[in-house]
Chain A
Amino acid sequence: MVPINYYIILSAILFTIGALGVLIRRNALIIFMSVELMLNAANLAFVAFARAREVATGQAFFDGQIFVFFVIAVAAAEVAVGLALIVEIFKSKRSIDVDQMSSLKG
């Protein structure tokens, strides 16, 4: 099987890309996608560790997999809320540049 390190390295790379995307990009949609990338990096780590533990102990636990389902569900909810926010922001500002949104006044 593929060594666990590979998964961890891939997960770290994905997470870094996501984090940099969030920090650097100004388009709210891209930031959103970067957040998803970070979440899925974490998911990858979860399943990888769960599988590794299963192989090590010879017992199936599914804790990691179940956690991934939770993350997916929460991410879906987050997308729903986030997209609604972006649409509303676009309606009022005609732009989704996050730097334009620096004041609390509508």
Chain B
Amino acid sequence: MPLSETVNTGFFFLAPWLVFAPVIGLLINLIFGRRLNEIGVGTVASLASGAAFVVSVLLTWSVAAGGGHAVSVPFAEWIHIGDLQLDWTFRVDSLSTTMMLVVSGVGTLIHIYAIGYMHEDVRFKGDPGRFPRFFVFLNLFIAAMMILVSGDSYMMLFVGWEGVGLCSFLLIGFWYEMDTLARPSWANSNAAKKAFITNRIGDFGFLIAAFIMFWNFRSFQFDEVFAAAEAAAPGVILAITLFMLVGVTGKSAQIPLYVWLPDAMAGPTPVSALIHAATMVTAGVYLIARSAPLYTLAPQAQYIVAMTGAVTALFAATIAVGQYDIKKVLAYSTISQLGFMVAAVGMGAFVAGMFHLITHAFFKALLFLSAGSVILGLERGHHHAGHAHHGKGKKGKRKEERSQDAHADVFDPNDMRNMGGLRNTMPVTFWLYMIGTLALAGLPPFAGFWSKDEILADAFNEGFVAVYWLLTIAAFFTAFYMGRQIWMVFFGEPRHEAAAHAEESPRVITVPLMILAVLSIFGGALNVPGLHTLTEWLEHTIEVHAGEFVWSVALISTGLALVAILLSWLVYGRSPLKSGQPDPLQERLGPVFTAMENKWYVDEGYFAVIINPFKKVSQFLADVIDWRFWHDWFHETVIAGTYNWVSHIALNRYADQRGIDAAANGLAGVTQWLSATMRKVQNGFVRSYALSVLLGVVLIVGYLILK
């Protein structure tokens, strides 16, 4: 990988604008956001993100025109201490430009969608002042993500890594004082904290990996690390790669740290689509792909990564089957699909992993945003039905009134049991959702088929038998839970009056979805077998091999997907769910379904094994050790007692008067005498002061000259 330091051709000088365009957008909205109207705020934010996209396109073109060589664009010095040379340098190569395109492209579409979504969201939740704040956070996220993917060293990557974590926290807790039902509660801020803390655990692993790296290689810069790693001890590489995997499990929601992602659905839906499906959570996959030379040197680590991904893929897919919240299904599906990607990059199939990352960004963003459209449609329907019933003609009800309403009639617009029959009321959303579902289920010719199949084929060819079967079964479950969702949401009869009165979303919401739908259909063309466009493109940066197309693998996975969809029709489609009726699988599977609905009790397990003992230990430390032992016994008894005893013995009348009193009085006397003498100097005449100054200067200058 030749690295040309000097840049003469192409648009590489634009690289800093990847970060600064969104930063300028967020500053404008931060300062003037309150004076702009909603359209203005949304336009500024979308243009800022769009500018980043244009820069990404130009950078991609420049890399392609330059023969695919990596280019470093130095921007600023950051930390120079001894061996530590940290600079803010932009690394523009085929891998980072791919990520840039995905992040800014999907990000811009979601910005546009969010103009429409947040308009209604702030209205339903009753605080229009939050509209600009949302877009400030969104632009901040784009900027942080750009720092992450364009960083030239592990530390710059870590800066972005933490930045996106912060944005994730801010946006999950966007409605921090109320939950998804728009009633006062701390559920959302708790979800935000959970995401942040879980990510911190992963970041700790990342940091340890970075420290080991610096300790051994004296550098964080990618190329230097990779060059040094070839001569390093295998144990060192293994430690680095495994600690890095801890970071990946946090950020990319893999076992055992995935628990934050389902709760993160508390954030507004564009956030779920942008951060918790399409871009941020794929940072872990990007990290492993970026560290490909390290992982290639540690086959054991590769195997562990692949197994982690594959087990997560299957585990999360089974949970998704038992969920009722439309966004929770998609959240577990995201975890599962991230498992596919992590398994792929773990097997060394970096292209397949990146390919799935790209197509997943398209169709999962499409699914989430369509789900948001469904939720809004239901909220409109609920509003409408409420009006019809109570005869309230007022358009925006006051906040207190609304929260009272919410208490009286708890209606969850995310709950699929409240939906049904939406294909008639929301036809556009239905078709878009359908495209996303088929892409996710992996049916040809949709994008998801090509990328998922490449992962499966690689697992098959490389001899990862366990991974291959885990992923194939996960793919079966994927098709099943998506079929279940389609039947429950869009077919059958409305199970709630809100669903009956649901209305289609406006164009600002549906048009970005249509673009994503087109990408979800044709995205597979990026790397179809035989052409391998993406493989050739990424070959410039990481060592890859073209995946072979295996007919048997493709037939098995497609066949299983069709069987799963048929099965979901038998269970959910043939006799649609009635209002109040329990899930059909509940009757057939019994406790297994209950366990899936309760996420296999993983959260409860974490509480029992880690969090509650942790609380007990901190209780013990605070109560017994800190308070009773240190405060009551050590400070009160030992120190205070000893002090009292010493003062009784040592400070009798003689020592007190002759020693301490005399010293204090003497000090006062000296001060009095000194001030009486010095007072004469301050006579109040300006000219005598000036003379003093002059004499002082003459003395100092004289000393300096004659020294």
Partners in one complex: yes
Interface on A for B, CB 8 Å cutoff?
19, 22-24, 26, 31, 98-99, 101-104
A103→B684 contact, CB < 8 A: yes
The answer to whether B686 has its CB under 8 Å from any CB of chain A is yes
Interface of B is mostly: helix
Q: How far is the CB of B349 from chain A (nearest CB, A)?
A: 60
Q: How far is the CB of A73 from chain B (nearest CB, A)?
A: 23
A22 to B, closest residue via Cβ: B690
How far apart are the CA atoms of A64 and B685 in the complex, in Å? 36
A102→B690 contact, CB < 8 A: no
A19: chain B residues within 8 A (beta carbon) = 694
A24: chain B residues within 8 A (beta carbon) = 687
B693 to A, closest residue via Cβ: A22
A102→B687 contact, CB < 8 A: no
Total number of B residues with any Cβ neighbor in A under 8 Å: 8
A101: chain B residues within 8 A (beta carbon) = 684, 686
Known: A23-B687, A24-B687. 11 other contacts (CB 8 A): A19-B694, A22-B687, A23-B690, A23-B691, A98-B686, A99-B685, A99-B686, A101-B684, A102-B683, A102-B685, A104-B684
Interface of A is mostly: helix
How far apart are the CA atoms of A99 and B686 in the complex, in Å? 7
Interface on B for A, CB 8 Å cutoff?
683-687, 690-691, 694
How far apart are the CA atoms of A101 and B685 in the complex, in Å? 7
Q: How far is the CB of A27 from chain B (nearest CB, A)?
A: 11
A23→B694 contact, CB < 8 A: yes
How far apart are the CA atoms of A23 and B683 in the complex, in Å? 15
B683: chain A residues within 8 A (beta carbon) = 102
A19 to B, closest residue via Cβ: B694
Q: How far is the CB of B686 from chain A (nearest CB, A)?
A: 4
A99→B694 contact, CB < 8 A: no
Q: Residue among B683, B684, B687 with the most chain A CB within 10 A?
A: B687
Q: How far is the CB of A78 from chain B (nearest CB, A)?
A: 15
How far apart are the CA atoms of A104 and B683 in the complex, in Å? 11
B684: chain A residues within 8 A (beta carbon) = 101-104
A104: chain B residues within 8 A (beta carbon) = 684
Q: How far is the CB of A11 from chain B (nearest CB, A)?
A: 14
**17 CB-based A-B contacts, threshold 8 Å:** A19-B694, A22-B687, A22-B690, A23-B691, A23-B694, A26-B687, A31-B686, A98-B685, A98-B686, A98-B687, A99-B685, A99-B687, A101-B684, A101-B686, A102-B684, A102-B685, A104-B684
4 nearest CB pairs, A to B: A102-B684, A98-B686, A22-B690, A102-B685
A99: chain B residues within 8 A (beta carbon) = 685-687
B691: chain A residues within 8 A (beta carbon) = 23
How far apart are the CA atoms of A48 and B686 in the complex, in Å? 32
A102: chain B residues within 8 A (beta carbon) = 683-685
B694 to A, closest residue via Cβ: A19
Q: How far is the CB of B514 from chain A (nearest CB, A)?
A: 60
B686: chain A residues within 8 A (beta carbon) = 31, 98-99, 101
